[in-house]
Structure 1
Amino acid sequence: MTASTTPAGGWPVAIAGLGVRLPDRVVTNDDLAEVLDTSDEWIRTRTGIRQRHVAAPEEATSDLAAAAARDALADAGLEAAALAAIIVATTSPDHAVSATAPLVASALGVAVPAFDLNAACSGFVYALRVASGMVATGDGAVLVVGAETLTRVVDPEDRSVAVLFGDGAGAVVLVPDPDARLGPFVLGADGGGASMLWTASGGTRRPFDAEVLADRSHYLTMRGGDVYRNAVVRMTESAREVLELAELNVSDVDLLVGHQANVRILDAVAARLGLPAQLSQVSLDRHGNTSAASIPLALWDAREQGKLHDGDTVLLAAFGAGATWGACLLTWKER
């Protein structure tokens, strides 16, 4: 099912600050080739990935999230005390119970409403939808963080997934702005496709035990072909729906920032939309798939590369485990 509950023109909300945190350790394709039956050429030609960042043993998702949050607040020129709420989009929390967002709030030295949102790789778009509604209805500034340490949940011996994922965090501060727009949003989900990308065991359906450890079903698994086909279709469809709701054409889009899973997915979505390849941001070559963190990391890269300008119309689109998907538009504002 796909649904939109936002005004056609979007909410009067802007990104006031943007911050990221990438772990210091970089693992290249050649590094992986030393321990897996793979090669740099094999990984690059199938995914577009050249390297990824891997969290240090003492680093957890909340550490990356808090660091990105501090940078975003500094970029916005705001103190943490100005925040009305904190939302952390993640599928790799510090703990099964409780949420990661309160840990981030504590690290920032504030006691504000804080909660997690798990829509996997679509999580950042979902979180933007929740946060934009809060800001637009009077809550004030809201911090949205996409943060993951996915290298902790993939099987290091499975080359089909171990080469794909990286760790990192990206954060944005949303504020009211009558001259900006965030939205409309189109979100969707289909639980019938859950097993194409999931961790089968370790939850309440099949709790962790010796048998789970032996069959390694506590690690993330993926049916790559199914994910590719569904991602291309869902991201393209939701992007088209968002543009239709906003009464805009593809030619009005200044930059497409899609979930950074695979360069072939990004290329296919841009081609189906009729968008020139140079208007599709590609950052996964340096970060790998960072799930909920991938879109804010890509926004950061785009800004650093001079691809974002005041007043630009930016199209975000994502697909993730669940299955979940979503798209939205935002007006980029220079501050």
Structure 2
Amino acid sequence: MNKAMNARDWVGHSLARRELATPAYYFNLQAIVDDIARVRALLGGNVLQEVAACPLQEMLSRLPEPERFGAITSSRGELNMVAGWDTDHAYVYLAGLTPQLTRAVLGVGHRLIVESPAQIEGLVKVRGQRKVMPLMLSVHPSLVMPGAGGHLGMLRETLMQAVARAVEYGLVIDGLALAHKGAFDSDRAIAALDGMRALATDVERQTGRAAHRLIMGEWTDILHTAQDTAPYRAVVEAGPHDEILTHVGGLSIFERAGVLVTRVVDVQPGTDGPRATCDAVVRGDFRANPALDGPRNLSRDTLGQQVTTLTGTTARDGATLGTTLSEVQVGDEIAFDGLGAYFRGFDPVVALEGKQLPALLFFDEEAADA
């Protein structure tokens, strides 16, 4: 099994050494850098950052240059976050592409991942004199992994229609992007790669030029899968010499590197056990990472006599954060692991009601500071 960095490996001994600011999301930048390197080593190829998984300008600007190999964005705001990156691998994937967003993509010179022939038509209508970077075509997972589902990506007939439109308008197709997220399976991963290469060959026959870029989607559990990745990596390394193969890093990269820390501000008895109100502002749909063990009390390790329900401070009488067997007292600091990706489980509306939103802090383990 691949041993991955777990948030509790650093937050427990590092953050507990000093008074914590709460409520706050703490991010360990070095953990992100290390996990990017692990994904590269396990799968081969390079890693594209999925900005939607952790859309923090403060974090992206701190990434060292080697980790800025490339990025995938899916909104105008995300596009602006990486507009200054010195990379030839900045991709934009927008299922609902408007003329305004199309102009923005053309303006920054990023590569569009095309989801339909209609997007090519829209691109041609607004391009004017702007340079259009070579296009990528979005591939539905079922084309290369029989039985796979998903609502993004083109099926074969639609994809070939997009190829025909691009050729008609003199646009270059540079490669394919697999619209896939899922758990790693060696046989399916190899089948997907073989299928993408075969599909790229078909596209090349239609366009008369190489479609040498392949984006293979994201294997979300790659850092803790029990499967051996060596057979897949061997197939990656045996590819054509001019092939540029990348994998997406979203949940797999950012999840373990973020921890929400909140402080208990009140404890009251309840019919089903104590209810502890914390200073974090969250929605009712907040969920900690189910792969970990739930909330941890950083202030004490004694067990309580009953299960304590942890709630957030909201305008709706406290949204449930989770439950704990730990004894909980006012002032205790509670940590929720695995919240580095898609972390925004709080409601911005409550800021207008005088509530305190969690801060976003980046932890420097060597300096013991955030």
Q: Sort the TM-score into its range (normalised by shorter chain).
A: under 0.3
Structure 2 length as normaliser, TM-score?
0.23
Task: Select the structure with the greater relative contact order (CA < 8 A; seq sep ≥ 6).
Answer: 1
Could you state the TM-score of these two structures normalised by the residue count of structure 1? 0.24
Q: Say which structure is richer in helix.
A: 1
